[in-house]
Structure 1
Amino acid sequence: MQALQPTSQRETIFNNEVISRFELYNSLFLTLPFYKVKDTGTLLPLFIKSCEDGVKNHETPHKLIEEFFAKYTPNTNPQDIIDLLFRFIQYIERQVVLFDAVEDASFNKLNVADEQTSLRALFLKANDDKKLHRKVDHLIEEFSLRLVLTAHPTQFYPGSVLAIINDLTTAIRSNDISTINQLLQQLGKTPFFNKKSPTPVDEALSLAWYLENVFYFAAANIQAGLNQLLSEYHIDPKKVIELGFWPGGDRDGNPNVHPETTLQVSRMLRQILFRCYYRDFRNLKRRITFRGVEDHIATLHDVLYKNAFDSNIELKDISPFIIENLNKIKETLVNDHGGLFSDLVDDLLRKVELYRSHFASLDIRQDSRILRKVHAYCREQKPINSLFSKDYDQLPEAEKLKALTFKTAKIIYSGQQDNLIEDTLQTIAQLQQMQAENGEEACHRFIISNCQQASDILQLMELFLWNGWEADNLTIDFVPLFETVNDLAGADRIMEALYTHPFYLQHLKRRGGKQDIMLGFSDSTKDGGYLMANWSIFKAKVALTKISEEHNIKLAFFDGRGGPPARGGGKTHRFYASMGKEIANKNIQLTIQGQTISSQYGSVDSAAFNIEQLINAGISSGVKEKHNVLLDKANYTILDNMAKDSYDAFLALRQHPLFLPYLETLSPLSLLSKITISSRPVKRNAGEALKLDDLRAISFVTSWSQLKQNIPGFYGVGTALKNQEDAGNWEQVKNTYQESGYFKTIVDNCMMSMSKSDFAITAYLAKDKKFGEFWKVLHNEFELSKKMLLKLSGHHALMENYPVEKRSIAIREKIILPLVLIQHFALEKLQHDLNDEKRQAYEKLAIRTVYGIVNAGRNLA
């Protein structure tokens, strides 16, 4: 993994390039008269100062806000106060965007890589070391990076706003004051959000903006650099980067995704891609005006234009045809024209080889409980009903596996199908059409959420055989998703059952002997807390790697890493660089979503940097193949004991009678379903009473982050560390921390999560009659965790070793402090009897604060 320039140098650049420029442009921004309320921008700094003073004095948000308006806008009626608070929110939302743009404009200066630790340095060393050269050569042959963009309710900006942000970043980079002024005015007048919830297709279109404007260029640029590097060291270039896509294919818990949705998104990705190809081709055509290439140029122009703009053409994978013609053009340029402009051909060739006709592979995902219902429905139909006993569902797992026949059949459906059964059956049949239109890579993975037994996968395979697929041509990879603590503990037993099953083993052989397994952080954190979730996933990876190696299966882990540390996010590069040889790491696959997309992959520069960091981390880790010290008995025992203690503490908190009432009353949890930024419901089993098990992890983590308490990102860690200290094991804990990069990454991510917490904001709750004691429980664990983590790391403050990132977080938290207090003010008002008009006004006020808080956090939800 590449290191950055010295910390002190980064701090100086951050102060000069980010803080100073933000203060300059923010002062300009606050003078712009966007809205009906006079002097909003003038009042906002005063309001921010009142908020800061009020938090220091532990005042309630209600008292703080009421006193502010009494002092600065006396005789203002309640409705005008609400209106002015809305204007404050709108300004602050755009201040966050401005700070994002200023930071992004300085990205290249802040993230200059150290060439001594780069991938090139590794190849240079390998050139002099034959043994290392062979290892690198072999690893490159197998290595791949797959980035999967997922639909996420906190990535809410429409394309128009994203375009403004992009242009604003460019203008700031060149200090173009006139353009900056115009763009800030445009930003102030452009709506950030839709009035109604997006459809899954809308979400896909919004996320495709990043594919078209960022990844299309960034991934190709990285691949070009890697190809150049490999050729210099006489290693054959290979495709390393793959893109995946979930919007339109992920139907787990989202009743708004239908077969026609999936097909529409697949075709949309194809059309956007060909428009990118056509855009590049026009530049190529403008330069290559020589004799000998006219026919190929004309042919490609016609083909690319029709695929980009003609909705009536027959869809099929034409990437081989495009590659063939581009190679012929290149051959003529090299042979007859001295290779002039052949670099333009190479660039387009590289993109076509990367993205083919599909751009990004669309994954299908559904919950195992739904798939079991579909299998049960099909077993009632002719001729399948004769193959199964009526008590099949009650059979032990071993008996179920024996009962599965894997016979190809054409089912004669009768009776009414419910929507989810119909969706599954139509989607299975439709996948063949999608592969025919865009190529096999367009959609070749089916992910089974909540996978609890081998039959969950094998029964799904039968559904394919009963709905138009042949066993010999089943071009689908079946991917189990293990997420809860219990499911992770039993994952290796499930996979061994599959690896020893004749039909499944035969299928794997046809698929190149490779198995993808998805491990999700979200529900494991909600289920067991931060430390137990990380430790459970680590142990599952070790066990799954071992069992896969024993059966000669090439294993690829697909990490469901969300934005925040509480959902697997955080310092991703260090996470992958810290893997030992006991964990399969030749194929890095991870989800990127929410504010992680805009913060780490929002521009071509930042995306290219982070893609390169991941590749460097994976290859460097693979070359070293060090033993993971966490598997040594002393280290393993200490982590195991801490995880159990942390789990017990988190479980006790979850079982506290005030746990959900606290979250429902003091956070916007109960209002999230009214936010028009997602097609997916806040919880499963919509319409029923709220249960923690039904609550989606995104909603769970988002609610705690809105409270500025981030409980899922640290709770139980302090207790676990203190217990070890009390037991006389502190020296061993310190040794484990010093020796294990993995454990250090867990600690760093935990401290990042805590840095985005601020219990001072809710300190007034300590005196609350209902929630006071519960708040103290949360606060005490926060203070204990902070104390123990600082003692363990030897630091004096959280994120002390990341001063630039720490300063960035501090500025963002300062910007959005008024939003947090306005939210608490509105939620407090909603606890009283209100008429419908006032209730709707305060609900809307609370809801609008959510966007800016999430966006400022960058990886909070």
Structure 2
Amino acid sequence: MSEENVTPAASLGARAVGDIELPEELRADVRLLTSLLGRVLRESGSPGLYEDVEQLRQTMITAYSDETSASFEKAEEIVENFSVERADEVARAFTVYFHLVNLAEEFYRTRLLHQETGSDLTGTDTVAGAYSRLIEEIGESAARKRLSTMRFHPVFTAHPTEARRRAVSSSIRRLDDYLEERYANPSNPVYEHRMERRLLEEIDTLWRTAPVREHQPKPEDEVRSIMAVFDETLYTTVPKVYRRICDILQGDESGRTPPAIKPFLRLGTWVGGDRDGNPFVTASVTKKALAISSDHILRGLEVTADRVARTLTLSADTTPSSPELKARWHQLTTADEDGAASAITKAPDEPHKRVLMLVSRKIQATRTRNADLAYSAPEELISDLRLVQDSLARARANRQAYGDLQQLIWQVETFGFHLAELEVRQHSMVHARALAECEAGGELSTETEEVLEVFRTIAQLQGRYGVEASRRYIVSFTQSAADLENVYKLAHFAVGPGGKAPVLDVIPLFETYADLQASTAILSKIAKYPEYAERLQETDGDVEVMIGYSDSSKDVGPVAATLALYEAQANIAEWAVERGLKLTLFHGRGGSLGRGGGPTNTAILGQPPHSVGGRFKLTEQGEVIFARYGDPTIAMRHIDQVAAATLLAAAPSIEQRNLNASEQFADIARVMDRSSKERFLALVNAEGFAPWFATVTPMEEIGQLALGSRPARRGLSVKSLADLRAIPWVFSWSQARLNLAGWYGLGTALQEVNDLNVLREAYEKWPLFTTMIDNVGMSIAKADSRIAERYLQLGDRPDFTEMVLDEMALTRRWITDITDTTGNGRIIDNRPELQLAVKMRSPYVDALSLLQLRALRVLRSQEPSPNDTDSQAPGSQMPIGQSRDGSTSGAQGAPEWQHLLLLSVSGVSAGLKNTG
């Protein structure tokens, strides 16, 4: 076998996939990385591992395109003959393959983004292009106002869907750096050999690194994991986004005149603040979370201020300071005599540098809590920086005024002293129980004491970091205005008579189908509550409402939930417009279709009129955070795209298009809502469905994965879907290769409409329907009916199996008929880049699924199998759990099979990419 083919993917990486050709650069990188992985498997794997991986790989590739069952059955036979140790190694090999292919794709994408030309940067999917279109539609003055008030507000959460460890992520990031170095030094044999050695070393490290966590992470660990994204990407990337927009809008004037935009990104976080169902998030954890965030941003600002100061070596002769800056210098020297003396020594005739050196010391004092020197709020720091900037501009040092110094100002304006606003979330029932105890006046339970301590903590955090650091309080499962009023009442109980309650923006979270329908009635009532109404006045009519995608989908099915969410947004937007309020809709989206996933910018452009209004806020969780914000180049593009859609969504043409479409296809929406809901409820409400679901998916085992600090369920067992969180509901179906949570009921809904011409017209003209069809197409494409059928057979309910597979086939047929414009009869044929990604991974995901199935069968049966062995060589006949002393027990073998199952979960997640 040639060196080129010693890979668990080389033939696929080196050639076309079906009739789709891999781009040359991507093909080369995939071939390089997977060939190096092949060498690692030969060097570091047990004897015969490479040959076993290669045999399964080749068989799965054939089976993927083989309409007969022969190749697939052969693959099943290969997997059945693996020892548990060998199966574990094979699963790890395929998992590493996915990480490498994902890396290659990401690296290819970043190269394309680096190659973007001027025209690429002015399309309507960029802020500059969206702004230009707005000018055409509403005039320059109105467009400039929209630009200045735009907000994009991602909120990072610790939802447990990021299956890979931080150590794995770090290894992948180092590999990316090596690829970048290699790309920057082409045609250098000596350098290329050195880079190949380093790549091999890192891939070997990745292979040897345990892919799944051994211990459940603590909330503090999750905070630090999020900090890695900030440190490595967002801190420096965000000002680059602003600068690139200014470069396009201002041309040569960019960097020497005041910027054309104001900072529009604000970060939020639930990590350390979301206590809904997570007993490990306490008031103490919340304090630590914000302390960690604040330390990171203040360290960053201190270093940046010091760096900018070192560049301002402008003498007083060429660049005199303004009278205002001179006055500020004297104030600073009085407060910090030692720092002033040092600054005078280092910069005797450089007034701007001297001031910024003392500013850097004040930032340090803020971080170390030196009250004599510390800034009390980020506004004070911005004021000092503006004084320096204004002085430079008045001395005609414009490039120094609006260059690096401006980027520092942007960073302070964006991140403040807290980095990301820490939002608190708690379930409405917890509040109700706590308030009942407080009003009863007896001894308080531990739960209620903790609830009250949270409000005291928020007050402390606001005192230390400012009100903006933590003021939003989200009430999960808001079902009445009383659920919101309870928060204010508890805050007063917490501080006691005469105490000052924290500033709170209480935000309802409407999650279920019924709550979405009742949303405007609840809002109308709470708007009259004195403290809520007072806060509306203080914020000049800012009102925020959160809508949940996950539980509504689990409640009535994905189609009815999508339509209900759209209707609720339209109603809430109309409610806000009638009252002259500035609405921000907070979208509780996840990474998967079943949790509101899919391309964010297209989803924004399909929202109801007035529901965006230049403000878009959403949750970002798990794998999505690292996919969108882990790489600086991709993060820049993502932020630019989402901000562009946020700006453009309020364009009259976009709003009119969405309004016309919703009216034109209202009858279709009603038919789809009714029929899809009936179909979904007929399945999930059937007797025995909940335990069947737990049997035919690895739901129970997923709960044992050390993914996040929050438990996967609200109760101890799954007696009904209400006991199960939406995340494992979605995650489990993706692992079973069905993705049922994202499409079940759609096929029946389309069949009920039964008019292909009308449906194709809706696909062309109705953005909500277009997004739904495209996302379901992606979801169905990543599913596999042959493997799914094996999972469903675990439950011994042929009636459920038939319902699911029939609906899957019906949905696939209608999606294909609606989108297939070429006559090829293939799903997602209109999206070749996605089709390529799916085809490039599917055979390998299939292999991991077969390994997972085998582990599941063993764990469910707990019976010895004649093919299990303690040996690392294939083909041995020692039974499950047999130790070296010859004893046998299914229970003894379970830990190894449990590890294999969890490993396969991690691998499938890496292969599918959007699992939760």
TM-score, structure 1 normalization: 0.87
Counterpart amino acid of residue 793 in structure 1: T
Q: Distance in 2 between matches of 1:804 and 1:160?
A: 30
Answering whether residue 142 of structure 2 is matched by residue 135 of structure 1, we say yes
Query: Counterparts of 1:650-665 in structure 2 under 5 Å?
Result: 650-665=680-695
**Aligned match of 1:352 in 403, 412, 417?**
412
Q: Secondary structure at the match of 1:31?
A: helix
**Aligned match of 2:678 in 648, 652, 659?**
648
Summarize deviations over 1:230-261 as a string: whole Å, max 9, x none: 66799963231111111100001111110000
**Aligned match of 1:243 in 260, 267, 284?**
267
Aligned-pair Cα RMSD in Å: 3.0
Q: Distance in 1 between matches of 2:818 and 2:79?
A: 43
How far off its partner does 1:160 sit?
Answer: 3.8
Equivalent residue, structure 1, for 2:635: 607
Equivalent residue, structure 2, for 1:256: 280
Counterpart amino acid of residue 484 in structure 1: T
How far off its partner does 1:345 sit?
Answer: 1.7
Counterpart amino acid of residue 789 in structure 1: I
- Aligned residue pairs, count: 805
Q: Distance in 2 between matches of 1:336 and 1:538?
A: 54
Q: Distance in 1 between matches of 2:743 and 2:228?
A: 34
The answer to whether the 8 Å contact 2:588/2:618 transfers is yes
The answer to whether the 8 Å contact 2:481/2:526 transfers is yes
The answer to whether the 8 Å contact 1:48/1:817 transfers is no
Equivalent residue, structure 2, for 1:85: 87
Equivalent residue, structure 1, for 2:745: 716
Q: Secondary structure at the match of 2:534?
A: helix
Answering whether residue 776 of structure 2 is matched by residue 754 of structure 1, we say no
Q: Distance in 2 between matches of 1:831 and 1:63?
A: 23
The structure-2 alpha-carbon separation of the partners of 1:181 and 1:341, relative to structure 1 and needing over 3 Å to count, comes to farther
The answer to whether the 8 Å contact 1:666/1:827 transfers is no
- How high is the sequence identity, in percent, across the aligned residues? 22
Q: Secondary structure at the match of 2:532?
A: helix
Q: Secondary structure at the match of 1:750?
A: helix
Q: Secondary structure at the match of 1:827?
A: helix
Q: Distance in 2 between matches of 1:650 and 1:69?
A: 35
The structure-2 alpha-carbon separation of the partners of 1:467 and 1:636, relative to structure 1 and needing over 3 Å to count, comes to same
The answer to whether the 8 Å contact 2:816/2:826 transfers is yes
How far off its partner does 1:456 sit?
Answer: 0.5
How far off its partner does 1:217 sit?
Answer: 2.1
Counterpart amino acid of residue 185 in structure 1: D
The structure-2 alpha-carbon separation of the partners of 1:281 and 1:168, relative to structure 1 and needing over 3 Å to count, comes to farther
**Aligned match of 1:774 in 800, 805, 818?**
800
**Aligned match of 1:375 in 435, 438, 458?**
435
How far off its partner does 1:334 sit?
Answer: 4.6
Q: Secondary structure at the match of 1:589?
A: strand
Equivalent residue, structure 1, for 2:243: 224
Q: Secondary structure at the match of 2:711?
A: coil
Equivalent residue, structure 1, for 2:47: 38
Q: Distance in 2 between matches of 1:230 and 1:543?
A: 36
Summarize deviations over 1:166-215 as a string: whole Å, max 9, x none: 22123223344343223223322334443210011111111221122122
Query: Counterparts of 1:395-474 in structure 2 under 5 Å?
Result: 414-419=442-447, 421-468=448-495
Equivalent residue, structure 2, for 1:152: 159
How far off its partner does 1:746 sit?
Answer: 1.3
Equivalent residue, structure 2, for 1:20: 28
The answer to whether the 8 Å contact 2:859/2:894 transfers is yes
How far off its partner does 1:660 sit?
Answer: 2.7
Answering whether residue 170 of structure 2 is matched by residue 163 of structure 1, we say yes
Summarize deviations over 1:619-638 as a string: whole Å, max 9, x none: 11212353224675551121
Query: Counterparts of 1:768-807 in structure 2 under 5 Å?
Result: 770-795=796-821, 796-807=825-836
Q: Secondary structure at the match of 1:640?
A: helix
Counterpart amino acid of residue 297 in structure 2: L
Answering whether residue 708 of structure 2 is matched by residue 678 of structure 1, we say yes
Equivalent residue, structure 2, for 1:817: 846
Answering whether residue 242 of structure 2 is matched by residue 209 of structure 1, we say no
The answer to whether the 8 Å contact 1:658/1:774 transfers is no
The structure-2 alpha-carbon separation of the partners of 1:663 and 1:48, relative to structure 1 and needing over 3 Å to count, comes to farther
Equivalent residue, structure 2, for 1:387: none
Query: Counterparts of 1:575-594 in structure 2 under 5 Å?
Result: 575-594=603-622
Q: Distance in 1 between matches of 2:391 and 2:121?
A: 40
The structure-2 alpha-carbon separation of the partners of 1:315 and 1:436, relative to structure 1 and needing over 3 Å to count, comes to farther
Q: Distance in 1 between matches of 2:631 and 2:549?
A: 26
How far off its partner does 1:483 sit?
Answer: 0.9
Q: Secondary structure at the match of 2:279?
A: coil
Q: Which moved more, 1:101-110 or 1:672-681?
A: 101-110
Summarize deviations over 1:24-61 as a string: whole Å, max 9, x none: 21011121156462242343121223445567565899
How far off its partner does 1:563 sit?
Answer: 0.3
Equivalent residue, structure 2, for 1:541: 569
The answer to whether the 8 Å contact 1:231/1:237 transfers is no
Q: Distance in 1 between matches of 2:647 and 2:272?
A: 32
Equivalent residue, structure 2, for 1:826: 855
Answering whether residue 218 of structure 2 is matched by residue 199 of structure 1, we say yes
Summarize deviations over 1:605-624 as a string: whole Å, max 9, x none: 11111111111111112123
Counterpart amino acid of residue 196 in structure 1: H
The structure-2 alpha-carbon separation of the partners of 1:752 and 1:418, relative to structure 1 and needing over 3 Å to count, comes to same
**Aligned match of 1:189 in 203, 208, 212?**
208
Equivalent residue, structure 2, for 1:524: 552
Answering whether residue 759 of structure 2 is matched by residue 698 of structure 1, we say no
The structure-2 alpha-carbon separation of the partners of 1:13 and 1:770, relative to structure 1 and needing over 3 Å to count, comes to closer
Equivalent residue, structure 1, for 2:5: none
Summarize deviations over 1:781-830 as a string: whole Å, max 9, x none: 11111111222234432222221122112222233222111110011112
The structure-2 alpha-carbon separation of the partners of 1:737 and 1:51, relative to structure 1 and needing over 3 Å to count, comes to closer
How far off its partner does 1:659 sit?
Answer: 2.9
The structure-2 alpha-carbon separation of the partners of 1:746 and 1:14, relative to structure 1 and needing over 3 Å to count, comes to same
Answering whether residue 766 of structure 2 is matched by residue 740 of structure 1, we say yes
